[in-house]
Amino acid sequence: MTNETSAAPTIPKQKWIDHGDALELLPPADFSFDATLGYLTRSANECMFHTDAESGSLYRLIPCSDRPGDHALVKISGADGSILISPAEEGTALPEAPLARAAVAAYVWDWFDLSVDMQPFYDLARHDPLLSEAVKRFYGLRIVGITDLFEALCWGVIGQQINLAFAYTLKRRFVEAFGQSVQWNGRAYWTFPTPEAVAEATVDDLTPLQLTGKKSEYLIGIAGLMAEGSLSKSKLLQNMDDIRALEKELTRIRGIGPWTANYVIMRCLKHPAAFPIEDVGLHNAIKHLLRMERKPTIEEIERLSVDWGNWKAYATFYLWRVLY
């Protein structure tokens, strides 16, 4: 049985095969599972999934529907040009409901951004002084998404103005305080906290995690907006034709500035023109690649990126990968 679904007319179809005991995704030929796994393995303190370099596979809880607690613990591995999704525990079964299986397949498809035709990006990057080395090194890597909007927003806020190592520590404490977990094989697998759970918290609940008072307020405020329904991924996705409008809508929210807005538009909404131009990591990558004595100015980055067009998000992601 071959399943083909499409979320929007402009988005190429998802291609996957249901083998019963496993789902097999058929990504574009230039997709590299190893490059993706390499990216996902970069932080040892990541709490939302587990990578196993030895077996070349990846384990995480994946939602099967919108209902909290409805999820499957799966193993994801690369297999000769395709991606295999199977139960984490051998001998057990994937969810039976066709909708649940489709949801799992769609989640991974979106997570790895498999609908994008990368050829135009590679064509332009090959001759770009900043990008040529990065696309050679990480060929086949796509923007690894943060599918859940609340998770993307929280991760953006948490990561503001602190180093990445500490940011991962804070995220772990936040998830362990407000998320749900499943134990398997001596390890906990977590779902990201729901907006409802965080909206009920107070600043005094968050500051013991070493989140600052401001960040605690931001996280609770964002959780409230999402819990009441005034902020949702489906609503934002209706504005995909106007990235400026998206940016404006997000930056109206307390705690979300231009950097966080573009970060979320890039990692969650997957708009290809998202560009967190103020990002320190981007600055450091450019400084490194051009062997500069100082970090580039915004104006210099604007000049360097004039030809990136609708590929600014991909350019940023590949440049980050050079240093992180």
Q: Which residues bind DNA (CB under 7 A)?
A: 156, 159-167, 169, 207, 210, 212-214, 251, 253-261, 263, 267, 278-281, 284, 320, 324
Query: Looking at beta carbons only, is 95 or 145 nearer to DNA?
Result: 145
Catalytic site includes residue 279 = yes
Query: Minimum distance between the CB of residue 16 and DNA, rounded to whole angstroms?
Result: 28
Question: What sections of the chain are H helices per DSSP?
Answer: 33-40, 98-111, 119-125, 132-137, 149-158, 164-178, 195-199, 203-206, 213-228, 233-237, 243-251, 258-267, 280-289, 298-304, 312-323
**Distance of closest approach, residue 216 Cβ to DNA, in angstroms:** 9
Question: What one-letter code names the amino acid at 217?
Answer: E
Least distance to DNA, CB of residue 137, Å: 16
Least distance between DNA and beta carbon 13 (Å): 28
Whether 132 and 302 have beta carbons less than 8 Å apart is answered as no
Q: Find the catalytic residue in 21, 30, 279, 307.
A: 279
Nearer to DNA, 19 or 42 (CB): 42
Give one DSSP letter per residue of 63-103, joined into a string.
ESSSSTT-EEEEEEEEETTEEEEEESSTT-----SHHHHHH
Residue 308 DSSP one-character state: -
Please identify, using beta-carbon distances, which residue of 16 and 311 lies nearer to DNA: 311
Residue 55 or 207: which CB sits closer to DNA? 207
**Residues annotated as catalytic (active site), given as ranges:** 279
